[in-house]
Structure 1
Amino acid sequence: MYPTSSQRKYWTFSNEQEIQALRLKQNQDYIEKHGADMDPQTRLHFFLTPEEERLLLKQYELHLRDFCKRFDPPMPRCIIGTAFHYFKRFYLHNSPMDFHPKEILATCVYLSCKVEEFNVSIGQFVGNIKGDRLKAMDIILSNELLLMQQLNYYLTVHNPYRPIEGFLIDIKTRCSMANPERLRPGIDEFVDKTFLTDACLLYSPSQIALAAVLHAASKEQENLDSYVTESLFHSAQNKLPVLVEAVRKIRTMVRILDFPPKDRVKAIEKKLDKCRNQENNPDSQIYKQRMKKMMCEEDDIDLDSSYHLAATDSSIDGSLMNISQS
């Protein structure tokens, strides 16, 4: 399924440079739009740099992971994976200065619950959010359509969990390893860390799954090299070098994973409060006025509809009389 999926076609990239170029473009486009009247030095101090955006998004990826892990009722792991995909995809085409990550984060998880058929109401969902839950509900529901639009409505996500189950079954069948189930803790830990990297935007779910299995096996002092070469790729040796390189790079990405310094992130968030797009800030007067205007327009549409319905009541009654007489 993955080779013919929208994920493979539209959301899997050739290299990290391609991803960084997309993120850099969003940063530059936002600054050009909102800082047209500023000199270069003022722009530098007022707006977030690409590096500051990177650190900010990394911090909110940690928040996303923690929110999902403490969610009540407990979430299936596939929801966490799908939410991470949505979050990363959204910020390939948007700057965090335009849409604050704390608001998009919750919307990504909520949409993921729907797509993965985890049946929780919006009331249950915001019950897991600290603070003003009514406000959180409004923000999530307001951003849901925006998120789907920015994902181009490609909502199906292929996570590494199914390939992992396949590998474990195959290892039990064709490998002499004792109790392969003991690999699960190491596999789960590794996959969780891959979502804090860009691996899911660069590699297939099966490549990430195999990297996780091999990593967990090495932690258990098990060697699965012969299983990979003789069982998995016995009849496709020409594909082996590409796989080995992909697995090596995924494991390297996880190994060099860094976490943003908390004091640096606090400074970035203070800077973001000043340079964010106030039209998308639920606490700003501009946003509140825009929402009020939209609600008034919707009320006008409803009134117009009611008027047209009332104006045609007699014709409707006539039609019903004709039906009853026939």
Structure 2
Amino acid sequence: MFSTSSQRKFWTFNDESELAQLREKHNLEFIAKHGAHVDEYQRYNVFLSPEEERLLLKQYELHLKEFCKRFSPPMPKGVVGTAFHYFKRFYLYNSTMDFHPKEILATCVYLSCKVEEFNVSIGQFVANIKGDRDKASDIILNNELLLMQQLNYHLTIHNPFRPVEGFLIDIKTRCSLANPERLRGGIDEFLEKVFLTDGCLLYAPSQIALAAVLHAASKEQENLDSYVTEMLFRDAGPDKLAILIEAVRKIRSLVKMVESPAKERVRIIDKKLDRCRNEENNPDSEIYKRRMREALDEDDLVYTGQTRMSLDTSGVTQVLSPSAS
């Protein structure tokens, strides 16, 4: 159950300011570690600011969504939701300058396939990625343990999809709403957008699910307020009901504010990242290759060339291997 889960205990935060502080902390830690040689006043000309990191991650979240949508065989919703959780969690405690999001993104999706028991082999998985698929496999498998470590091995995710089904069954049973199935389109649209926000780090899956149902009902010009207050939470005290209503309001507000970052701004940030990223974690850098050679015999190296591969997302080619464009 969510109430006793690691998700509730370790990965559900009080508010957006707490998330912002964590992200800023790890941004500053990276700059302090790697920017000792840079004048303090010039550091944000060389390194990414917290705001730039957030914009970049918002763009890569869109790529994650499109990659999952285009995946073959078709990917269950639970896999997509879990991948978003992993991606967001990872970058609460790591900077994009340390680990490039185009590599972590693919690893998050691959790990979520395993955890959600969506059985695809690494070969089937990288068949969805353009370019050097052997190299793609190597990058993903090399990052898999790192990802699990950074998630503290808290891999079970409670997504809002199951609570949605519970609400729909209850509405069919106890509510006079005609044809509740017509809400599904609005619910799916809402949940797709909610993963582009920090909602899954701030609210319970059941709260997100209820917000989706109420949003879909309002789109159908239906009002479920009496169902919520008189049936669903009839025995809840006024304080608990007020907390729930405020949570639903905030979740819907987050979704309303979803917008794509300006492509030109993201392109500039991406170029900046290529110049300031940690070369020790760059599979195309000599430092990284040397470190791999120290860990493995020369004959065991899978790749050393400069062939690149990319995620086939929404018509925008994003290089997964992190060499500069």
TM-score, normalised on structure 2? 0.91
What is the aligned partner in structure 2 of residue 57 from structure 1?
57
Per-residue CA deviation, residues 45-100 of structure 1 (Å, 9 max, x unaligned), is 10000000000000000000000000000010000000000000000010000000
Partner of 2:268: 267
Separation (CA, whole Å) in 2 of partners of 1:31 and 1:188: 40
Structure 1 pair 298/17, CA: closer, same or farther in 2 (3 Å)? farther
- Please give the alpha-carbon distance, in whole angstroms, between the structure 2 residues aligned to 1:103 and 1:145: 13
1:22 aligns to 2:3 (yes or no): no
2:144 matches 1:144: yes
CA distance in 2 between counterparts of 1:113 and 1:20 reads 29
Q: What residue in structure 2 maps to residue 296 of structure 1?
A: 297
Q: Deviation per CA, 1:110-130, whole angstroms, max 9, x where unpaired?
A: 000000000000000000001
Check conservation: 1:229, 1:237, Cα contact below 8 A: no
What CA deviation, in whole Å up to 9, does each residue of 1:112-160 have, x standing for no partner? Answer: 0000000000000000001111111000000000000000000000000
Q: 1:2 & 1:298 partners in 2: Cα distance?
A: 47
Map of 2:125 onto structure 1: 125
Q: 1:298 to 1:170 in 2, by over 3 A?
A: farther
Pairing 1:1-326 to 2, within 5 Å after superposition: 1-238=1-238, 239-296=240-297
Give the number of equivalent residue pairs: 299
Give the superposition deviation at 1:43.
Answer: 1.0
In the TM superposition, structure 1's runs of 4+ consecutive aligned residues that sit over 3 Å from their partners are: 296-299
Look up the match of 2:322.
none
**59-68 or 40-49, which moves further after superposition?**
40-49
Letter in 2 for 1:183: L
Larger Rg: 1
Letter in 2 for 1:279: E
Paired letter, 2:292: M
Deviation at 1:297, TM superposition (A): 9.9
What is the Cα deviation at residue 42 of structure 1? 2.3
TM-score, normalising length: structure 1? 0.90
How much has 1:298 moved relative to structure 2? Answer: 11
State the alpha-carbon separation in 1 of the partners of residues 291 and 139 from structure 2: 14
- Structure-2 separation of matches of 1:26 and 1:158: 26
More displaced, 255-264 or 199-208? 255-264
Q: CA RMSD in A?
A: 1.1
Task: State how far apart, in whole Å, the 2-side matches of 1:76 and 1:44 are.
Answer: 40
* Structure in which a larger fraction of residues adopt helix: 1
C-alpha displacement at 1:237, in angstroms?
Answer: 3.1
User: Within 2, Cα distance between the matches of 1:130 and 1:41?
Assistant: 40
1:111 touches 1:144 (CA, 8 Å); kept in 2?
yes
Give 1:40 deviation, angstroms. 1.5
Q: Encode CA deviations 1:150-191: one digit per residue, 9 max, x unaligned.
A: 000000000000000000000000000110000001000000
| 1:37 Cα offset (Å) | 1.6
Distance (Å, rounded) in 2 between the aligned partners of 1:44 and 1:129: 33
Report % sequence identity: 74
Q: In the alignment, is the contact (CA less than 8 A) between 1:52 and 1:268 conserved in 2? A: yes
Q: Relative contact order: is structure 1 or structure 2 higher (C-alpha 8 Å, sep ≥ 6)? A: 2
Residue type matched to 1:97 in 2?
M
Question: 1:238-276: per-residue Cα shift (whole Å, max 9, x none)?
Answer: 311000000000000000112110000000010000000
Q: Distance in 1 between matches of 2:94 and 2:209?
A: 29
What code does the residue aligned with 1:163 have?
P
C-alpha distance in 2 between matches for 1:274 and 1:10:
34
Partners of 2:299 and 2:11 lie apart in 1 by 35
